[in-house]
Amino acid sequence: MTFGDAEIGDYPPPSWLTKEELSTEIITLTDESLEELRTVYDNESETIQNIIKFGICSTCGRSVTKQNIVRCLYGCQLCDKCRPEYLGRAVCRRHVESRFASKYETIVLIGIVSKINKVKLLKVGKITENEYQTVRINLEEKGYIKFSTIGLENRPKITPSGYEVLSLLISTYQKDPDFAIFLQEIGVVIGPVQAGTKQ
């Protein structure tokens, strides 16, 4: 058996199933073997094919074994090196981007927390004015920021849920070179912090 997709057997379909039922693809995840078993009906040969797809990390693409597997909060497989956590559970990058915040949203959120003026944030974060306005609206809709009026200015402030998700976002994007350069240029130092220690 080789790494990747491998056929493990062709056999005739059971006579009680209709062609419509057979033509649907059935996917089964087996935790013991960390493999995905796909059952597909082939119309030409009128046989059922079982295809094994070995587990890979949904973030970096490395193969996953019993020694290094971590399950994402939403069911994806991760290797132990790609495991940003949210409330004690691992979350893959795809779900961080789709359910929490994009990289641009994270840049703006960090800018708000760090109280960086808008002009510097746009320059250092390489964000246009339109993208900035869209991102601010998205962050407000997600409940990560709220606006408070001070004099004539309407300034964004980070909410408790924004603070809660910030470490997940930073740990997800900190390996990206452009994000690391952004953090460096605004003077934010990210390093390993032990629980209960002071910086």
Alpha helical stretches, state H, the chain: 19-23, 93-95, 103-113, 118-125, 129-141, 160-173, 177-186
pLDDT at 148 over 70: yes
- 75 in a structural domain: no
Q: Which of 5-14, 49-58, 70-79, 95-104 is predicted least confidently?
A: 5-14
Of the residues 17, 35, 54, the one at which a domain ends: 54
For residues 105 and 46, membership in a common domain is answered with: no
For residues 106 and 166, membership in a common domain is answered with: yes
Whole-number Å distance between alpha carbons of 25 and 35: 16
- 72 in a structural domain: no
What are the residues whose beta carbons fall under 8 Å from the beta carbon of 117, sequence distance 6 or more? Answer: none
On the CB side of 14, how many CA atoms lie within 13 Å of its CA? Answer: 3
Whole-number Å distance between alpha carbons of 29 and 175: 30
Instruction: Tell me which amino acid residue 152 is.
Output: L
Whole-number Å distance between alpha carbons of 138 and 169: 15
Whole-number Å distance between alpha carbons of 98 and 140: 16
For residues 105 and 180, membership in a common domain is answered with: yes
pLDDT, tens digit (0-9, with 9 covering 90-100), for 79-88: 888 878 888 8
For residues 122 and 178, membership in a common domain is answered with: yes
- 85 in a structural domain: no
pLDDT at 24 over 60: no
Instruction: Tell me which amino acid residue 82 is.
Output: C
- 33 in a structural domain: yes
Please tell me which of 3-12, 65-74, 171-180 the model is most confident about, judged by mean pLDDT: 171-180
Q: Which of 26-30, 116-120, 146-150 is predicted least confidently?
A: 26-30
- 95 in a structural domain: no
Higher-pLDDT residue of 130 and 55 is 130
For residues 112 and 175, membership in a common domain is answered with: yes
pLDDT, tens digit (0-9, with 9 covering 90-100), for 91-126: 888 889 989 999 999 999 999 998 888 899 999 989
- 199 in a structural domain: no
Of the residues 20, 38, 54, the one at which a domain ends: 54
For residues 118 and 173, membership in a common domain is answered with: yes
For residues 110 and 42, membership in a common domain is answered with: no
- 83 in a structural domain: no
Confidence of residue 27 (pLDDT cuts 50, 70, 90): very low
Counting the structural domains of the chain, the total is: 2
Of the residues 54, 74, 89, the one at which a domain ends: 54
What pLDDT was estimated at residue 137?
92
Q: What is the CATH number of the domain that holds 136?
A: 1.10.10.10
Task: For residue 38, give its domain range.
Answer: 6-54
DSSP state of 83: -
- 161 in a structural domain: yes
